[in-house]
Amino acid sequence: MRAALWLVILFVLAAAVAWLAGNNHGMVTLFLYPNRIDISLNLAFLALFAVVMLVVLVVRALEAFWALPQRALRWRLQQKERASHAALLDAISHFMAGRYLRARKAADQTLLKEASLEAAGVTLDHAASLRTLAHIMAAEASHALQDQAQRQQHLEQAMAQVQASQGAERQTLLEGVQLRAARWRLDERDAPASLELLNELPPAARRRMVAMRLQLKASRLAGKPAQALETAVLLAKHRAFSPAASESLVTRLILELIRHTHDVEVLQRVWLRLTPTQRLLPDVVTEAVGRCLQLGGTPVMARTWLQDLWTPLQSPQSNWSTEQLERVVQAFDACLPGVDEADAFVWLSRVESAQQAQPRAPHLQYLAGMLCLRHRLWGKAQSLLTQAVKSQKAPSLQRKAWLALAELAEQRQDDEAAKAAWKQAALVSPS
């Protein structure tokens, strides 16, 4: 549309000029004694226009001639600037290709070319960024070459360049240098130094994905499972891992946190911070129950934590593995109430009802038999444990059942049965 309008305007101007020139009968007279020159007004306008254009061309030609030295100097400086940028690109490409010596040399060339520009009196707007990136690339190559002295030297120079810079780029460069330094410390398995560098970052930078990943690795390496768990939960919320990987990672960190707990009250606080979903994980519950009993906690507390697993323990459609089922049964066995405890008959009724609902379930037979043994129901315990040892596949539970049968035989003063039970317990394979 715009081109069509310009074309129309040009046609209108051409028509107007043709009309004016065709109907213009004016004359211009020049008196050059003793001669007189008469020319048309149109020719006078054309001559004047030609003279003006000639003067303009001559002036521009002179300006271009006098500007040749400055243009040559500017061209040389541009070539140097392009060479410094090309050297930085070479450093990045060599580093990506694993040519670390060449990458470091290219980064040094970048610094030399930028220094020559500064010596020539040219200061680039992005000079601080260029020098910082060149030092970081040289430090990265030195880190890959295990040259810690060179890496530290380039890191200090990069920090000096960052401190000398101004504006918004200063904060960006500072955060980038600190993140790279934290990763280098982590590669050297210096977790405290890495965490210290990460803690120096602003709160917004610490919430970035790359910073949280580094913090997770450093926290695990430093033996700080609580901090690692908190970071892993944040990463899981930001979908940094797949759902299966997030669940596996969080579970491992919870188990590690429980193992590093050395006080019952602290363990209880850890348990209260868990989500309802995490309290249904069999590995987490069994580890917490075992640690609670190991630290001198009460079986009542342990049974409270185990109550949520009672329903899935009775379900034939439970997706637990054989090892998880074995650990859950062992956890229940370790904290089943004795006959003198307040909730003894509640649990006895609960276990018996579950066993009668599934009379062929070996783990329920085992739990019912062990609970009857604690309640001194010798005959019922004998019957249930005898059934359990025949169908029980878990070696640890089978061995405990044989040991309980040996104890019952000794109480009956049946030495032959006791010896047979002891022998069977010894013959059970630990694998």
What CATH code is carried by the domain that includes residue 345? 1.25.40
Q: Looking at the predicted structure, is the pLDDT value of residue 138 above 90?
A: yes
335, part of any domain: yes
The pLDDT assigned to 184 comes to: 92
The number of domains in the chain is: 1
- To which residue do tokens 């930028």 refer? 114
Greatest alpha-carbon pair distance for the chain in Å reads 162
426, part of any domain: yes
Best CA proximity match to 109, nearest among 92, 128, 121: 92
Average confidence score pLDDT of the chain:
84
Host domain of residue 403: 328-431
139, part of any domain: no
The pLDDT assigned to 338 comes to: 77
Q: For 347-369, what is the mean pLDDT?
A: 83
336, part of any domain: yes
332, part of any domain: yes
Local confidence band at 22 (pLDDT 50, 70, 90 cut-offs): low
373, part of any domain: yes
CB 198 within 8 A of CB 214: yes
341, part of any domain: yes
- Cα separation, 62 vs 321, in Å, equals 91
416, part of any domain: yes
Local confidence band at 365 (pLDDT 50, 70, 90 cut-offs): confident
What's the pTM? 0.70
Return all residues near 139 (Cβ < 8 A) that are at least 6 apart: 150, 151, 154, 155, 158, 180, 184
The pLDDT assigned to 103 comes to: 93
Q: Looking at the predicted structure, is the pLDDT value of residue 96 above 80?
A: yes
